[in-house]
Structures are given as C-alpha cells and as structure tokens.
Amino acid sequence: MTADDVTPELPTASRPASRARWGIFLAVAATVIIADQVSKAWLVANVAAGQVMSVIGDLVRLVQSQNSGALFGLFRDQAILFGLVSLGVIGLIAFYHGRAGRSLYLSIALGLLLGGAIGNMIDRFRFGYVIDWVDAGLGSIRFWTFNVADSAITLAIIMLLAMAIFPALAGSSRGEADA
C-alpha cells in the first residue's frame, strides 16, 4: 500500500452538509396548510358566496369565490385533473427538497410551495374547486381573487427566482452546490 492509495477523509466539520432540513420544510408546509384551511373554513362560515365584505375600504375585500380551474381561473371544471397533477407536483417538490442540501432559505421556499400546493389540492378533492377569498384592487380594477395557499406559492416562486439570480441566498456558492 502506498501513500497514493490512501485518500484522506475530510473532517466532518469541513464537509459540506448534504442532508435536507426536513423539520423546517415540513413545519413551513404544515403552517401554510393550517392557515389556508382555517381561513377558508372561517370565510365559508361567515361570508356567503358572492357576498363582499370590505376590510380596507375598496382596496381589500373578502369575497367567497369558487375557482374550478387553475391559475387565474384557466381550464375551468378540471378540479380532479388538477388535483391529480398536484399529487405529482407535491412528489417533485419533496424529491427536490431531499436532493437540494441544507439551505435554510431553500427549505423555507420549498415548504411554502408544498404547503400551498397541498392547501389547494385539499379543496380540489374535497369540493371540486378551490376557495379563493382575498379580493384586492381599486374600484373596477381588481387583482385576481386568491387565498393563503396562492400567496404562499407566489412568495415561494419569488424566493426561488431571487435565489436563481442571487445564488448566495441559498447559503452556498455555485462551486459548493456543484461539488
């Protein structure tokens, strides 16, 4: 045996951590799911379908809306199909998180994405539509009606885009991520 045959083992502290932060990921997802489902249950119990409840004048209102489609109401009456697609997306999010490493930032972003996907999937399988309820805008110029799950998905996408532009947000340089 020569000195070339022995590869020195890096000390544990020097090795990049490769295990995902499952606790944070699942806690964020669970928080989104609970907040989403509780807010929708409250809304259904307190605001009739089509009723408008002002929160901040005309700027923010509560409106019970039933979205049987996908993003922005596209492809209406396909809730079961989108529910099944959601199952695949949920699997991909969990798989990617497991392979992504120990980035706290990425675990939070993917947890938001997972929680939002599950929150809306629950509605699709349970009701055949997603309950949307936040209506923001000025006068007749309104943004799309959305919910907590949609907000979490949007925030996750913004975080992931920011991470793509600024990789340091993930807590590692590109060189470390490729190693």
CA-nearest of 111, 143, 88 to 22 is: 111
Do residues 146 and 132 make contact, with C-beta atoms less than 8 angstroms apart? yes
Instruction: Give ∠ CA 158-27-36 in degrees, rounded to 5.
Output: 65
How far apart CA 159 and CA 112 sit, in angstroms, is 10
Q: Whose structure tokens read 């199952």?
A: 87
Catalytic residues: 132, 150
- Amino acid at residue number 70: A
CA-nearest of 33, 44, 16 to 178 is: 16
